[in-house]
Amino acid sequence: MRKCLIVQFEPRHEEVIPSVIAACNAAGYRPQVLLNRRIRRVRGDVFKQVAGGAADIQYDRLSVDPDGDGPDWDAVLGDDIDFVILNTFNRPKVARWAASCGKPVIALVHNVDQFMGDAAFHGMLDRPDFAFMTLAPHVTSELISRLDGRHIDRFGLLSPFVLTDSPQSYSVSQPRTVVVQGNMSLRTRNYQGLINALVDHPGRWDNLSFEFPSSGADRETIATEIENRGLADRMHILPAGANGEVPYAAVFDSLRTATLFHPLIPDGFAQYQRIKITSTASMSVGFGVPMIMDRWSEACYRFPMLTADNTLEASLDRLSGASDAELLETSAALGVYRDQMRAQSGQGMIRLIAQIGVSGA
């Protein structure tokens, strides 16, 4: 297999990399992967949870500065490396490093606002040796719209759904375990609304329990509120490790054994339908666990899911009332969808590799 380089400078977004590796493998490449070593120190090694795919993984000090503490880039970017994939393209310093790295580049755009907010990013659109991937069709649509329809063919789709090495066995637990995955922020997730709903409607959703395998700025505030409102038997926050993050081993155990996922998107927070994705969508398809969304979100993400009216109470009614058979059917449909999107990501990678001028790809 030919070689490329995947780089993750920041200590985040490493859960996307197994999907990038899968797309590279489909294109005939075995990537060398360089990750910020803080990822492993804080959360553990994600590749102990998702081992599949042909790649060479290395954690290191990473710096975009020529004199910074990090690898010997001249050696890393040797003649055997055909191109570079930037797993996160959201810092001007990284854009400048990419512009001068001497290799063709495919960059993953996670956030439209960040990409459009600095010329260091969208200034690369006119370079023939640069191409871009987003993580969902609605993100591509928003970005192309802001570019007034220009550069359509410079973008591809990377479906971030490779989170297990083989299809998960799915079952419906009693009570149903509803996992809310992602950063514990009162701004981006409606934890307070969930707490209020459970207190205001005792007994209404007795077959649901809630688990939070996450860290975040509001974690302690939410934990205190759960305790003070007498919900500790219904809502469980997983313990954090020594560095304040829930270790990957515990997170993946939670995701593997979930019955349902809920993104808890608050009213008026439209970023997950426009400029980026909610990681809950990746987890749902990746683990084959059904999730609940409102109809606007369903129109954006377009994979098998449960839908409900756009109120928190309606979403809880739907999760509580869905039959076991419907949940099992939805899980099976998610597995089929994952396989389809994995193949599509591979084809998209092949197209972009050729577009950035890599001969023989």
Which structure tokens are listed for 108? 């993953």
pTM of the complete model: 0.96
**CATH topology identical between 2-164+340-355 and 176-338:** yes
CA dist 243 and 254 (Å) reads 19
pLDDT at 68 over 80: no
The larger pLDDT score, comparing residue 242 to residue 138, is at 138
pLDDT of residue 52: 81
Structural domain boundaries in the chain: 2-164+340-355, 176-338
pLDDT averaged over every residue in the chain: 95
Beta-carbon count within 10 A of 127 CB: 14
- Residue 66 pLDDT > 80, yes or no? no
* Fold of the CATH domain 176-338: Rossmann fold (3.40.50)
pLDDT for residue 49: 95
Question: Domain 2-164+340-355: which topology?
Answer: Rossmann fold (3.40.50)
Residue 220 has pLDDT above 90, yes or no: yes
CA 105 to chain centre: 21
**Number of C-beta neighbours around residue 290 at 10 A:** 24
What mean pLDDT is predicted for residues 158-168? 90
Cα–Cα separations (whole angstroms), residue 351 to 134, 138, 252, 282, 346: 14, 20, 32, 23, 9
- Among 56-60, 163-167, 262-266, the range scoring the smallest mean pLDDT is 163-167
pLDDT, tens only, 117-161: 999 998 899 999 999 999 999 999 999 999 999 999 999 999 999
